[in-house]
Amino acid sequence: AQTVTQSQPEMSVQEAETVTLSCTYDTSESNYYLFWYKQPPSRQMILVIRQEAYKQQNATENRFSVNFQKAAKSFSLKISDSQLGDTAMYFCALTTRDDKIIFGKGTRLHILP
């Protein structure tokens, strides 16, 4: 069975600080993709970043970067220079060839002014 675990239900940081959200996963598949999605209060699901399992290089999108440790099955998200608009629920997700996305339970992130 495939699982995604986010161990931090809630976090708060000051604006402009850097914050790291943790995610671990488990799969027996060799070919898979990992994602971080953001869900602000509007409840839209917004793709933040995507990582291909066979690529060793960590994905980066502007202020968002990941630390992908394949052997440890860890996929953390780092948000640099955090902004008030980053306040949201963040979901780590895994997809394999069966096409389903497995979501973690989410981390609620509060950026404080």
Partner 1 sequence: GAVVSQHPSWVICKSGTSVKIECRSLDFQATTMFWYRQFPKQSLMLMATSNEGSKATYEQGVEKDKFLINHASLTLSTLTVTSAHPEDSSFYICSARNRVFGQPQHFGDGTRLSIL
Residue appearing with tokens 């495939």 = 2
Nearer to partner 1, 45 or 112 (CB): 45
Nearer to partner 1, 66 or 104 (CB): 104
Phi/psi of residue 40, each to 5°? -70, 180
Applying CB under 8 A, which residues contact partner 1? Answer: 31, 33, 35, 42-45, 47, 50, 52, 91, 95, 97, 99-101, 103-106, 108
Q: How far is the CB of 104 from partner 1 (least distance, A)?
A: 7
3-state secondary structure 35-98: EEEEECCCCCCEEEEEEECCCCCCCEECCEEEEEECCCCEEEEEECCCCHHHCEEEEEEEECCC
Q: How far is the CB of 8 from partner 1 (least distance, A)?
A: 14
Q: How far is the CB of 16 from partner 1 (least distance, A)?
A: 27
